[in-house]
Amino acid sequence: EVHLVESGGGLVQPGGSLRLSCSTSGFTLSSYWMHWVRQAPGKGPVWLSRISTDGSSISYSDSVKGRFTISRDNAKKTVFLQMNSLREEDTALYYCTREVIVGVSAGDAFDIWGQGTMVTVSS
Amino acid sequence: QSAPTQPRAVSGSPGQSVTISCTGTSGEIDRYDYVSWYQQHPGKAPKLLIFNVDKRPSGVPDRFSGSKSGDTASLTISGLQAEDETDYYCCSYSGSYTYVFGTGTKVTVL
């Protein structure tokens, strides 16, 4: 069965850093583009970042560009999100999600989601 | 990018059909055929219902259908059931390998 399990969340002060991990199982990670999405309490999801199968192509939303870094280790079946210069508005549940494959290409939608890891930025 | 606009709430009786709209704010929905829809129950992760405007993943009931006209995408739920009462979000590709989720719609089954 396909699973994504996020970890690394917690309470951090403004300006601090956290590194989130997304451990995958049940599929070949190296075949899939992966994403991070967050959701603040009571709000809708917000897309953050995308990484290609081999890590050579990466993109970010304007809200986190320059502060967050996505990476992956296919051998360890894990995707990461390094978060620096954290702000109170970064407080949210952070999801790792897999991009669907349509035919032989990435499909611009998210078919598998983890349960999320909570990040709270507060002094 | 600004979030595509969805109605805050829609409602319908069991067995009826409801349609949720998703209107782009920067032309992204008109420009690309990469609109997806997600259902999210409280305390759960979003679930993919529709991708590429009108494609259903395996396991999603055919009561859920998607369409697009110009800069507005739509999700229609036919034969509304009690378990359909929850939140729904659209998501669109917005160029340069970035994506934007809609504002969200709460569906109430009367």
Contact between A108 and B51 using a beta-carbon 8 Å cutoff: yes
A99: pLDDT strictly greater than 80: yes
**Confidence band (pLDDT; 50, 70, 90) for A101?**
confident
Check CB contact under 8 Å for B48 and A110: yes
B88 inside 8 A of chain A by CB: no
Q: Which residues of chain B have pLDDT under 50?
A: none
- Inspect the interface and report whether the beta carbons of A113 and B45 lie closer than 8 Å: yes
Buried b or exposed e, range A38-52, using 16+ CB within 10 angstroms: bbeeeebbbbbbbbb
Question: CB contact, 8 Å: A113 with chain B?
Answer: yes
Are B19 and B84 spatial neighbours (Cβ–Cβ below 8 Å)? no
* pLDDT for the residue A87: 98
Chain A contact set for B104 (CB, 8 A): 44
**In the prediction, which pLDDT does B52 show?**
95
Per the DSSP assignment, residues forming a β-bridge with B73 are B22, B68
How many beta carbons lie within 10 A of that of residue A56, not counting itself?
Answer: 7
